[in-house]
Structure 1
Amino acid sequence: MVRIGYTMMTEQAGPRDLVEHVVRAEDVGFDFSVTSDHYFPWLRSQGHSPYAWSVLGAAAQATSRIPLMTYVTCPSFRYHPAVVAQKAATLQLLSEGRFRLGLGSGENLNEHVAAGSWPPIDVRHEVFEEAVCIIRALFDGGHVTHHGTHFDVDSARLWDLPDERVPLGIAVSGAQSCAIAGRLADFLIATEPRADLVAAFDQNGGEGKPRIGQVPVCYDTDRDAAVRRAHEQFRWFGCGWKVNAELAHPDSFESATRFVRPEDVSDSIPCGDDPDRFVAAVRSFAEAGFTEVALVQIGGDTQHAYLDWSQKTLLPALRNGL
């Protein structure tokens, strides 16, 4: 059975609302939750981008059962990996073992504020792999000293280390990232239902480990309104990772998506209130070998209606239809 998750999309709601939403998601019966970690929204129309780790700390205290996770944090530019390790260990303690650390090589949109320049993907993967190794070493306990190509760590130690090691996942999009994930991750993360990513992860050591996907959806009893909202706030999604990782500002995404039509968005994102369309989108991940799928409801001010509908209609349909 595929586990169904709820997404706290930091780009579309403020911090107090995000915590309120995940509390309701726990009550509704979602199996887990994930949280985006952005400095900017993708588009100005989304309107938000609070600090994800403060939101997660508050969520850990406001909830009692639902698992929490970053989807995803880049430990290479805006954050130092030693600090990411400390944040993750603290979240694991606050949540009493409910936290998973999702990591990725980052997007220029968020990392340029501290990176200075945005290196090519081969370099970013090299930096990312070194960062992951530092985090894993700190999770092992004891003092860590590391003098590498990209990072220096001088006698670092996590003084508050949870008894249960923080599970570490890696976001993938191609052969290079799958190879890193297979070697170093406890689970795979992807935003596309691609069986080839799962196969590459397995071939590099990931066989038998969880695989977590994510699906944007736009619930509304008025399908036309749902399509308009999805187009207004999520038309960037179809650009693909190779584009999304490179653009540095919401205005750049405005320009890159100016010719995307509402019908283009509704062809790829389930819109409206027909649960069969939502089930089909999740099924594509299940058929590709994913074990967990987090749903993103588009529209920060629509979460309560979406969560009510999820409890009554969507979650039963998903659990019966997958």
Structure 2
Amino acid sequence: MKIGYFLSCEEFTPAELLEQARGAERAGFQGLWISDHYHPWVDAQGQSPFVWSMIGALSQVCRLPVTTAVACPTVRIHPAVLAQAAATSAVLHSGRFVLGVGSGEALNEHILGDAWPQTDVRLEMLEEAVAVMRELWRGGFVNHHGRHYTVEHARIYTLPETPPQVYVSGFGPKAVDLAARIGDGYVSTMPDAELVRRFRDGGGGDKPCQAGFKAAYADSEEEGMRIAYDRWPNAGVPGELSQVLPSPRHFEQAAQLVKPEMMKESFLCGNSAEAHLEMIDQYAKAGFDEVYVANTGPNSAGLFDLYQREVLPRLR
């Protein structure tokens, strides 16, 4: 099991994210996830640096592999533009870059005034977008006139030695089936063995499966719960709302229904090494190959110390 750290662009400044990357590498984490957002989920998180600038900067401060978790190549950014960004990122990271993609959320993708498609259409767009990007990574000029995208006489000149791997996020059966069909790997946030099995049986085979979970490191579980509730009450918003609500204000309104104690369902709160080991074990038993932990709040150094002293040595 590979253990990585999740950089949350929604919550931290560029300088803080870079310092967390350095801290994660020193602590012994083996890779980085990084989120791609135009807005934070709620204003209390307060940040949203451009992920492609951050990925470039990460290449200069650490040597850990980086995966976007996840980028949306369908609405806000045209797949031909994202293909160039991913290719440059792969060059900067000497091939240690994975493009994680998903069908996105209205929170980030509606900003240009485009209609927010239904799920089936978004998945169809994602499949075409991945095909466009892979064609561009082959080199040479590309002309594409598809159902959703047009590319005319486009060529990416700065290419890595091998094309970036594309891992596809999926939380429902249709998305997991798409990931199995077109992905070089699978991305999730739930220790759901059935989804992993569906991915592998549907064509994913032994391709890598990544997942992530959230923590709120603090001196006590109650303090961690308070931090999580202050920063990420949206974690308790149920169902498909995370895909369709268009602004932090709407997430704040929905989060009024969330109670502080509900944070324990979405976050590991406190400082228990045993709790982290048990959570990682759930993902391992579900069949995941890699798991990434995010820390909300000001205590990332405490989480790094916990993992360096008590979690990672026991996993090895």
Deviations 1:108-132 (A, max 9, x none): 0000112522111111111111111
Check conservation: 1:78, 1:115, Cα contact below 8 A: no
In 2 relative to 1, CA 73–308 (structure 1 residues): closer, same or farther, beyond 3 Å?
same
Aligned length: 316
AA partner of residue 46 (structure 2):
G
Aligned to 2:39: 40
Aligned to 1:184: 182
Percent identity reads 38
Unaligned runs of 5+ in 2: none
Q: Shift of the alpha carbon at 1:241?
A: 5.7
Q: 1:261 aligns with which of 255, 259, 262?
A: 259
Aligned to 2:155: 157
Check conservation: 2:216, 2:267, Cα contact below 8 A: yes
CA distance in structure 1 between the aligned counterparts of 2:176 and 2:134, rounded to whole angstroms: 18
Deviations 1:268-319 (A, max 9, x none): 42111111111222222111111100101111x22222222221223234x1
Q: 1:302 aligns with which of 277, 299, 302?
A: 299
Check conservation: 2:18, 2:61, Cα contact below 8 A: yes
> Which has the higher mean CA deviation after the structures are superposed, 278-287 or 73-82?
278-287
TM-score, normalised to structure 1's length? 0.94
Deviations 1:11-35 (A, max 9, x none): 1100111111101211111010010
The reply to whether residue 97 of structure 1 matches residue 92 of structure 2 is no
Q: Shift of the alpha carbon at 1:259?
A: 2.0
CA distance in structure 2 between the aligned counterparts of 1:285 and 1:27, rounded to whole angstroms: 24
Check conservation: 1:91, 1:99, Cα contact below 8 A: yes
Secondary structure at the aligned position of 2:9 is classed as: coil
Secondary structure at the aligned position of 1:100 is classed as: strand
Kindly report the root-mean-square deviation, in angstroms, between the aligned alpha carbons of the 2 structures: 1.4
Deviations 1:79-115 (A, max 9, x none): 0101111111101111111111000000000001125
> Which has the higher mean CA deviation after the structures are superposed, 185-194 or 220-229?
220-229
Map 1:239-318 to 2 at 5 A: 239-240=237-238, 242-299=240-297, 301-317=298-314
CA distance in structure 2 between the aligned counterparts of 1:224 and 1:196, rounded to whole angstroms: 32
TM-score, normalised to structure 2's length? 0.96
Aligned to 1:233: 231
Aligned to 1:61: 60
AA partner of residue 28 (structure 1):
A
AA partner of residue 108 (structure 1):
A
CA distance in structure 2 between the aligned counterparts of 1:237 and 1:141, rounded to whole angstroms: 41
Q: Shift of the alpha carbon at 1:234?
A: 2.1
Secondary structure at the aligned position of 2:299 is classed as: helix
